[in-house]
């Protein structure tokens, strides 16, 4: 009788242990899934905020006169130096306030034209004037040259 009781008791403890282990593993998996879903949601939201529509791109390009808003380089400026040189200039639409910092891609006020080079320099949350203070490349030279030509 005693032996039987002991066996039942051991069995009950074992069942209890397995039950607890099972519940803990389910809980852990639920937490992992929640974290994954939250990450996915955040990624989607950032992607949505980053997106700039084609028409808005065209609008910003025209508003900024297809000119880099930091160094002032433009296709026309290069074409003036040598016919066809402007085709080598890669202009991009930049988020003034980065998407990570809450900037949106559907707000024209938050968009500007930058040349490829200035855009690479504007990593992080640098402002235009911070980047402008750093640059020491062609466009500055061209602007000086242009001024000399006018005066």
Least distance to Zn ion, CB of residue 73, Å: 5
Residues from 55 through 94 that contact Zn ion (CB under 5 A): 68, 70-71
From CA 64, how far away is CA 122, in angstroms rounded?
A: 18
Q: Provide, rounded to whole angstroms, the least separation between the CB of residue 140 and Zn ion.
A: 10
Closer to Zn ion by CB, 49 or 143: give it: 143
Among 118, 121, 122, 142, the residue binding Zn ion under the rule CB under 5 A is 118
Pick from 60, 111, 113, 115: which binds Zn ion (CB under 5 A)? 115
Q: Counting Cβ atoms within 10 Å, is residue 56 exposed (0-12), middle (13-18) or buried (19+)?
A: middle
Q: Which stretch binds Zn ion (CB under 5 A): 15-23, 42-50, 110-118, 124-132?
A: 110-118
Question: Read out DSSP for 55-77?
Answer: HHHHHHHHHTTTB-TTT--BHHH
User: Cβ of residue 89: shortest distance to Zn ion, in angstroms?
Assistant: 9
d(CA 6, CA 132): 82
Least distance from Zn ion to the Cβ atom of residue 33, Å: 45
Binding range to Zn ion, per CB under 5 A, among 9-17, 22-30, 33-41, 114-122 = 114-122
Distances (CA, A) of 77 to 43, 54, 131, 135: 39, 25, 21, 18
Q: Are 93 and 111 in contact (CB under 8 A)?
A: yes
Give the residues lining the site for Zn ion (CB under 5 A). 68, 70-71, 115, 118
């Amino acid at each position: 009788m005693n032996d039987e009781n002991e066996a039942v008791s051991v069995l009950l403890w074992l069942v209890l242990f397995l039950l607890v282990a099972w519940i803990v593993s389910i809980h852990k998996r639920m937490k992992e899934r929640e974290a994954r879903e939250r990450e996915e949601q955040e990624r989607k939201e950032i992607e949505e905020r980053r997106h700039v529509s084609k028409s808005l791109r065209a609008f910003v390009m025209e508003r900024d006169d297809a000119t880099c808003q930091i160094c002032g380089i433009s296709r026309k400026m290069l074409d003036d130096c040598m016919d066809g040189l402007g085709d080598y200039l890669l202009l991009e639409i930049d988020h003034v306030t980065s998407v990570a910092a809450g900037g949106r891609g559907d707000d024209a006020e938050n968009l500007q034209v930058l040349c490829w080079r200035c855009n690479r320099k504007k990593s992080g949350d640098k402002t235009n004037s911070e980047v402008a203070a750093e640059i020491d490349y062609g466009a500055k030279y061209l602007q000086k040259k242009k001024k000399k030509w006018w005066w």
